[in-house]
Structure 1
Amino acid sequence: MTKKPIIGISGSIIVDSGAPFPGYHRSYVNDDYIDSVIQAGGIPFIIPFNTDKEVIKDEIAHLDGIILSGGHDVDPLNYHQEPRQKLGTTFPERDVFDFSLIKYAEEKKIPVLGICRGFQVLNAYYGGTILQDLSYADHELLRHAQPADPTTRTHSLKVNENTLFAQLFNDSQIRVNSFHHQVIDQVADDFEVGLVAPDGVVEGFQNMKSPNFEFGVQFHPEMLHRFDPNAQIIFKTLIDHAKRVD
């Protein structure tokens, strides 16, 4: 494959809150995702949210790789739990949409990168669970929802040896930004954990049994890619695997 790979970025819906069209629905993704793909050597396409599985399958047919973007909390019914008091806003229809993207990506054998919500979606899809709020942990956690500029790296991550991330990064420890109130609880079977925060929170993994290449991170490398080599290599890794798609 010599052409630049086409990378689909899962879209969401934003609802206008003011004039001139209050309540109007718009398809969107944050621009950082677009620029991250371009800078890594790919061609970005937004995959607009929709509920037609045949359309979703046909959308995937045109892609060489996928990014599952951030957004709403994953509906806990997807990991066999009832909603707790501090669960944030969910978008169950988008859960179905993202799950379909994973399914059809596997069928086509194209790589998948999950970021923040997308990281949690991957875990839930393969049978893992999510802690619905940081306060529900059985020990004190770091402040993962940082009140900081998106480009500020606020806490460290340990890079586990002999994992994908050890191959990608030159350091045994990196620093990242952090904008989430939920974390992985039980990691899905067949996932290898590669990044862990000092409080034990899992922040990076790879699916070791997938027929395609699937990995994810809890932080937001798309907000760091303009100056952080570790963030850049995450997107370049996705692009490199997308180039191998027949």
Structure 2
Amino acid sequence: MKKPIIGITLDSEDPGAYSNMPWYALRQNYADVITQNGGLPIALPHEPEMTDHYLDLIDGLVVTGGAFDVDPAMFGATSRHSTVVTKDKRTAFERNIAKAMLKADKPVLGICGGQQLLHVILGGTLIQHIPDEVENALAHEQPNPRTEAGHDVSVREGTLLHRIVGTSTLPVNSAHHQAAKDVSENITVNATAPDGVIEGIEDNRYRFCLGVQWHPEYLISDGDRKIMEAFIQEAAK
């Protein structure tokens, strides 16, 4: 049986450390979890004008996270928090390919920063820095390892996420200083943290459009395994 081809967006870095030239990066577990669930992972360089070619090639898309932020101008903000760091070419590519995949109704999974980009594409806005906007906020940039849970989330019944994980509470790892804020009429919030921060979104106009603020590729729970499994199964259809 043909394996579904899953495009994974790369991170990008300026010269230094690994190479004295600009370089791409991807944690191995993003690819490993796709392979383990029967998919064929392919890394996607940031070529915004090549979107149509990538679209013809891949059956599903994972928009990954990274230590950077969506440009606040994309969601209509008139100011930028001092902590905001952007990677404009990466964001332009991820926006283009995610929009194209959704238009073609191919499965899209946004992880951490990928969830935030998906939220903006679907018409939402972002909290630019959680500690400044959320009273008594949890440590969403958890101090313990990402292989452990930082906190739990409540999963909303009746959502795609709830149908996948089959539980109302899920332990998650947490590595973000921004989060989804205002929602559009197309966005369904499917998970929240105890401090009220939005942890998951979906858009039911599409057969699989799911964003999670945590990192299910670490497989720290059975729910994480089910998310990755459901995404690959949908891409295989």
TM-score interval (norm. to shorter)? over 0.9
Residue 133 of structure 1 pairs with residue 126 of structure 2: no
**Residue pair 1:111, 1:214 contacting (<8 A) in 2 also:** yes
SS in 1 for 2:29: helix
Partner of 1:237: 230
Seen in structure 2, the aligned counterparts of structure 1 residues 158 and 58 have a Cα distance that, compared at 3 Å, is same
> 1:206, CA displacement in angstroms?
1.2
| Mapped partners of 1:67, 1:137: distance in 2 | 28
> 1:129, CA displacement in angstroms?
0.3
What is the alpha-carbon root mean square deviation over aligned residues? 1.6
The structure 2 residue matched to 1:42, chosen from 31, 39, 42, is 39
2:6 counterpart letter in structure 1: I
Choose 164-173 or 32-41, whichever is displaced more. 164-173
- TM-score normalised by structure 2 residue count: 0.93
The structure 2 residue matched to 1:28, chosen from 17, 25, 28, is 25
| Mapped partners of 1:35, 1:28: distance in 2 | 15
**Residue pair 1:5, 1:243 contacting (<8 A) in 2 also:** yes
Partner of 1:59: 54
Partner of 1:4: 3
Structure 1 residues not aligned, in runs of 5+: none
The structure 2 residue matched to 1:228, chosen from 221, 228, 237, is 221
Partner of 1:90: 86
How many equivalent residue pairs? 236
Q: How does 1:93-108 map to 2 (within 5 A)?
A: 93-108=89-104
> 1:165, CA displacement in angstroms?
1.9
Partner of 1:178: 174
The structure 1 residue matched to 2:197, chosen from 176, 183, 201, is 201
> 1:138, CA displacement in angstroms?
4.8
> 1:111, CA displacement in angstroms?
0.5
Structure 2 residues not aligned, in runs of 5+: none
For each residue in 1:132-170, what CA deviation from the matched residue of structure 2 results, as whole angstroms up to 9, or x when unmatched?
001232522111001121101010111111111221223
> 1:92, CA displacement in angstroms?
1.8
SS in 2 for 1:233: helix
**Residue pair 1:157, 1:195 contacting (<8 A) in 2 also:** yes
- TM-score normalised by structure 1 residue count: 0.90
The runs of 4+ residues in structure 1 deviating greater than 6 Å are: none
> 1:25, CA displacement in angstroms?
0.9
**Residue pair 1:128, 1:189 contacting (<8 A) in 2 also:** no
| % same residue | 32
For each residue in 1:52-74, what CA deviation from the matched residue of structure 2 results, as whole angstroms up to 9, or x when unmatched?
x2x22101211000000002211
The structure 2 residue matched to 1:115, chosen from 111, 117, 126, is 111
